[in-house]
Structure 1
Amino acid sequence: MNTTRQTQPAAGWLIFLLVAVAGLFYVKWFPYYHRAFTAAETHSIGKSILMGTDASPPAPSLAAALGYALAYGKAIWQAMVLGLVLGSAVQVLLPVQWIARVLGKTSFGSVAAGGLLAIPGMMCTCCAAPVVVGLRQRQASPGGAIAFWLGNSVLNPATLVFMGFVLGWNWAALRLVLGVLMVFGLGYLVNRLVTPKEAEAADAQLAQLAALQEQARGNAFVRWLSLFARMAARLIPEYIVLILLLGAARAWLFPHVGPEIGNQFGWIVALAVAGMLFVIPTAGEVPIIQAMLSLGMGVGPAGALLMTLPPISVPSLAMLARSFRPRLLTLVAVSVVLFGVVSGGLAVALGF
Structure 2
Amino acid sequence: MTSARDAQPPQSPPSWGWPLFILLAVAGLFYVKWFPYYHRAFTAEATHSIGKSILMGGAASAPEPSFTAALDYALAYGKAIWQAMVLGLLLGSGVQALLPAQWIARALGRHGFGSVAAGGLLAVPGMMCTCCAAPVVAGLRARNASPGGAIAFWLGNSVLNPATLVFMGFVLGWQWSALRLVLGVLMVFGLGWLANRLVTREEALAADVRLAMFAQEQAESGNVFARWLRLFVRMAVRLVPEYIVLVLLLGAARAWLFPHIGPDVASSLGWIVVFAAAGMLFVIPTAGEVPIIQAMLALGMGVGPAGALLMTLAPVSLPSFAMLAGSFRVRTLALVGSVVVLFGVVAGLATVALGF
Match among 149, 153, 165 for residue 160 of structure 1 = 165
Aligned to 1:229: 233
Map Cα deviations across residues 52-95 of structure 1 (whole Å, 9 max, x no partner): 00000000000000000000000000000000000000000001
CA distance in 2, matches of 1:116, 1:301: 29
CA RMSD between the two structures: 1.0
SS at match of 2:267: coil
SS at match of 1:20: helix
How many Å apart are 1:207 and its aligned residue? 1.0
Match among 303, 309, 312 for residue 308 of structure 1 = 312
Amino acid at match of 1:302: A
Unpaired segments of 5 or more residues in structure 2? 1-9
Aligned to 2:323: 319
Native 8 Å contact 2:11 2:215 kept in 1: no
CA distance in 1, matches of 2:35, 2:147: 31
Amino acid at match of 1:250: R
Match among 37, 43, 65 for residue 38 of structure 1 = 43
Match among 278, 290, 294 for residue 290 of structure 1 = 294
Native 8 Å contact 1:9 1:95 kept in 2: no
Map Cα deviations across residues 230-280 of structure 1 (whole Å, 9 max, x no partner): 100000000000000000000000011000101100000000000000000
Aligned to 1:22: 27
Aligned to 2:276: 272
CA distance in 1, matches of 2:260, 2:282: 16
Native 8 Å contact 2:124 2:156 kept in 1: yes
SS at match of 2:15: helix
TM-score by length of 1: 0.97
Aligned to 1:351: 355
TM-score by length of 2: 0.96
CA distance in 2, matches of 1:190, 1:238: 26
Match among 106, 122, 125 for residue 120 of structure 1 = 125
Aligned to 1:214: 219
CA distance in 2, matches of 1:222, 1:206: 22
Aligned to 2:257: 253
Q: Which runs of 4+ in 1 moved over 6 A?
A: none
SS at match of 2:326: coil
**Identical aligned pairs, as a percentage?**
77
CA distance in 2, matches of 1:233, 1:276: 25
Aligned to 1:147: 152
SS at match of 1:99: helix
How many Å apart are 1:213 and its aligned residue? 1.3
Q: Which moved more, 1:203-212 or 1:284-293?
A: 203-212
Native 8 Å contact 1:253 1:274 kept in 2: yes
Is residue 178 from structure 1 mapped to residue 183 from structure 2 by the alignment? yes
Match among 54, 58, 77 for residue 59 of structure 2 = 54
Is residue 263 from structure 1 mapped to residue 306 from structure 2 by the alignment? no
Amino acid at match of 1:273: A
Map Cα deviations across residues 66-125 of structure 1 (whole Å, 9 max, x no partner): 000000000000000000000000000001111000000000000000000000000000
Amino acid at match of 2:180: R
SS at match of 1:10: coil
How many Å apart are 1:221 and its aligned residue? 1.0
CA distance in 2, matches of 1:263, 1:341: 11
Match among 62, 79, 85 for residue 80 of structure 1 = 85
CA distance in 2, matches of 1:251, 1:212: 48
Match among 11, 14, 17 for residue 16 of structure 2 = 11
How many Å apart are 1:215 and its aligned residue? 2.8
CA distance in 1, matches of 2:15, 2:106: 17
How many Å apart are 1:181 and its aligned residue? 0.2
